[in-house]
Structure 1
Amino acid sequence: MADPLQAVQRLLGLRQLSLLDELPAALTDTAPLLDAVEITVLLVDYEQIALWPLTGDASRTTDSVRINDTAAGRSFTSARPVRHDDPADLLLWLPLVHGAERLGVLRVRLSAEPDDGYQGLTVIAALLAELISSRRFYGDAVEHTRRRLPMQLAAEIIWNQLPPLSFTAHDTTITAVLEPSYNVGGDAFDYAANGTTLHIALFDTVGHGITASALTTLTLNTYRNARRCGLSLTDTYRSIDKWVRNQHPGAFVTAILAELDTRTGLYQRISAGHPAELLLRDGGSLPPLPTPTALPLGLAHMRTRPPGVTRHTLRRGDTLLLYTDGITESRSADGELFGLNRLSEFVTTAKARGLPPAEIMRQLIHTIVSYEEGELRDDATAAMLQWHPEAYQEP
């Protein structure tokens, strides 16, 4: 007999007593309490191509479900429950979302239609997403599931430094992507919401491999240190520049260091030798903000004047896309650059189709990889910021 409350209580007990390796067996035991024949967690791989079952056994080969053109994929990309295409099969896919981060999906094969219209299963999916996120760092079950290729050390270092790919708070949404997933070394992003200020930064380090990842790590953590010390954008720039120059003489990092006042939409940033953001409004793109306004981090001693801070007031629904040159300078087989116009057209079209921000970014990075026929010449990283306040008056 179904007993959703007992199922919740049993799963809650895993928070303190179990590792994620034990989750598949726990779900098998819990399934009858939900009138389910099968309950399986599937996690998205690093390249966001397919969903892979969490088995608790790193050596076990399991069948994946591709994201594109499947019911499971539709649940993942839309963050909504989706029934299997065959109405005679009581197979349901539910999104596993922690905050705004898309972890994967929950596959549930039912023995009977639930009386509550999947409400109880939705609670179970939310609880499992919380369990996976809170306990993923105590073992390697999640990493064993998500990794489909050996990860290079430089990429390991970078991924362990980054915040979740997606975040929503204070009327803002941020979502980011990085490629090549298993060999990235010089690119990184960061964000933080403190009160009504949203901080966001994008970094592109010179070089590749372990040397670049070491410089990126220093840059990222110096940025966080300056931010947490309450430094202004200008002083943050100076602090990072000082440490890059002292620890890696001759090296440099291009960057955008930005802050958004989530009450007023005031966007302030320093462009340290970095490409200008793409600013989208009302289905089109606006003229780019001035760039650069400062020399790359590590080279500021070559100029006497302080870094320039650009200020721009956003309107409700505006979208900013920060990107590294690996996006726009990717090349087709005949050498044609992907370019800013193609980037703007892609994002504008995707927004017009009503795709969620995280899905826009997933499809963008796959488009870039495809454009270079699967072999990226440079790290390609992008971060999208959307401002959508409820209480807002047009200026």
Structure 2
Amino acid sequence: FYLSADAEARVGGDLYEAVPTTHGLRLVIGDVRGKGLFAVETAAALLGAFREAAHDEPDLAALAGRVETSMRRRAADYAGSDMAERFVTAVFAEIVTPDRVVRIVNCGHPPPLLISSAEVTELETDRSSPPLNLGVLVGEPYRADEHPFRPGDQLLLYTDGVTETRDSDGAFYPLVQRIRSWGVLPPRELLDRLHHDLLTYSDNRLNDDTAALIACYIPDEPRAPTDPHAL
């Protein structure tokens, strides 16, 4: 789901996409720093670069690097403008079902949540990669972390508009505790619950764009036993 802090806006600086490829299911979620038309254009440019590179790059870290290169080229075209100063926090994910793993490249973004029947876990990284359009300044390579991802597991990607939502007392939204308290829900029901809970928690006063995306590893249907005497 996507919620804009501006009641009159349908799009903003948050972005997400999922692309099935021969390398696995590739996902991205991101948050362009800043608002307005430049933020929307930056988000569109990033998504275009991701959709193209997702099919070509076999390595997830290299995919993030390709998107970073595209963002730097675009910034160079707008040198001296507000667009050139934009940077994007993002998470790239790759789900490979035969290997039962999810790979994550975190570019300065809130950590994804792995939701299983037993636990809700933040997929933290020892060393976050730089936000997009800042990689050349930081000089750190993009790196991927790998985690188990089994049938029935869900991966929740979200922007910081979720965790930075505040109640009337100024307390931040406790995402992990809320998800744990609801138990295991189907993806659509979980997103709907989160959507409405954020609005209730903030008394319908969101101060930032908010986006969330769930990928679920659907278990195989059990096969019926074969009757050797059946025709």
TM bracket (short chain):
0.7 to 0.9
1:378 to 190, 204, 208: 208
Aligned residues: 211
Please give the alpha-carbon distance, in whole angstroms, between the structure 1 residues aligned to 2:85 and 2:36.
17
- TM-score normalized by structure 1? 0.50
Alignment of 1:259 onto 2:89: no
Alignment of 1:312 onto 2:147: yes
Please give the alpha-carbon distance, in whole angstroms, between the structure 1 residues aligned to 2:41 and 2:188.
28
CA contact (8 A) 2:22 2:55 kept: no
User: CA 1:196–1:391 in 2, change beyond 3 Å: closer, same or farther?
Assistant: farther
Larger Rg: 1
Q: What amino acid sits opposite 1:362 in the alignment?
A: D
Q: What are the equivalent positions in structure 2 for 1:35-184 lying under 5 Å apart?
A: 177-180=1-4, 182-183=8-9, 184=11
2:190 corresponding residue in structure 1: 360
Please give the alpha-carbon distance, in whole angstroms, between the structure 2 residues aligned to 1:334 and 1:365.
20
Report the Cα offset of residue 362 of structure 1: 1.6
2:12 to 182, 185, 202: 185
Report the Cα offset of residue 351 of structure 1: 4.0
Could you give the per-residue CA deviations for residues 28-85 of structure 1, whole angstroms, max 9, x where no partner exists?
Answer: xxxxxxxxxxxxxxxxxxxxxxxxxxxxxxxxxxxxxxxxxxxxxxxxxxxxxxxxxx
Report the Cα offset of residue 344 of structure 1: 2.1
Please give the alpha-carbon distance, in whole angstroms, between the structure 2 residues aligned to 1:233 and 1:243.
16
User: CA 1:292–1:326 in 2, change beyond 3 Å: closer, same or farther?
Assistant: farther
Please give the alpha-carbon distance, in whole angstroms, between the structure 2 residues aligned to 1:372 and 1:287.
23
Where is the helix percentage greater, Structure 1 or Structure 2?
A: 1
In structure 1, stretches of 5+ residues that fail to align are 1-176
CA contact (8 A) 1:277 1:322 kept: yes
Percent identity, please: 28
Please give the alpha-carbon distance, in whole angstroms, between the structure 2 residues aligned to 1:210 and 1:229.
30
1:345 to 172, 177, 195: 177
Please give the alpha-carbon distance, in whole angstroms, between the structure 2 residues aligned to 1:369 and 1:188.
20
Q: Secondary structure at the match of 1:198?
A: strand
Please give the alpha-carbon distance, in whole angstroms, between the structure 1 residues aligned to 2:105 and 2:122.
17
Please give the alpha-carbon distance, in whole angstroms, between the structure 1 residues aligned to 2:140 and 2:23.
30
Please give the alpha-carbon distance, in whole angstroms, between the structure 2 residues aligned to 1:291 and 1:274.
13
Q: What amino acid sits opposite 2:73 in the alignment?
A: N
Report the Cα offset of residue 212 of structure 1: 0.5
In structure 2, stretches of 5+ residues that fail to align are 76-83, 223-231
User: CA 1:287–1:378 in 2, change beyond 3 Å: closer, same or farther?
Assistant: closer
User: CA 1:370–1:251 in 2, change beyond 3 Å: closer, same or farther?
Assistant: same
Q: Secondary structure at the match of 1:298?
A: coil
User: CA 1:313–1:370 in 2, change beyond 3 Å: closer, same or farther?
Assistant: same
User: CA 1:195–1:182 in 2, change beyond 3 Å: closer, same or farther?
Assistant: farther
Could you give the per-residue CA deviations for residues 314-336 of structure 1, whole angstroms, max 9, x where no partner exists?
Answer: 23322221111100010111111
CA contact (8 A) 1:320 1:385 kept: yes
Could you give the per-residue CA deviations for residues 240-285 of structure 1, whole angstroms, max 9, x where no partner exists?
Answer: 2122223232210111111111112111121001111112222422
Please give the alpha-carbon distance, in whole angstroms, between the structure 1 residues aligned to 2:32 and 2:104.
19
- TM-score normalized by structure 2? 0.83
CA contact (8 A) 2:12 2:35 kept: yes
1:331 corresponding residue in structure 2: 166
User: CA 1:194–1:287 in 2, change beyond 3 Å: closer, same or farther?
Assistant: closer
User: CA 1:260–1:227 in 2, change beyond 3 Å: closer, same or farther?
Assistant: same
CA contact (8 A) 2:2 2:211 kept: yes
Please give the alpha-carbon distance, in whole angstroms, between the structure 2 residues aligned to 1:195 and 1:240.
19
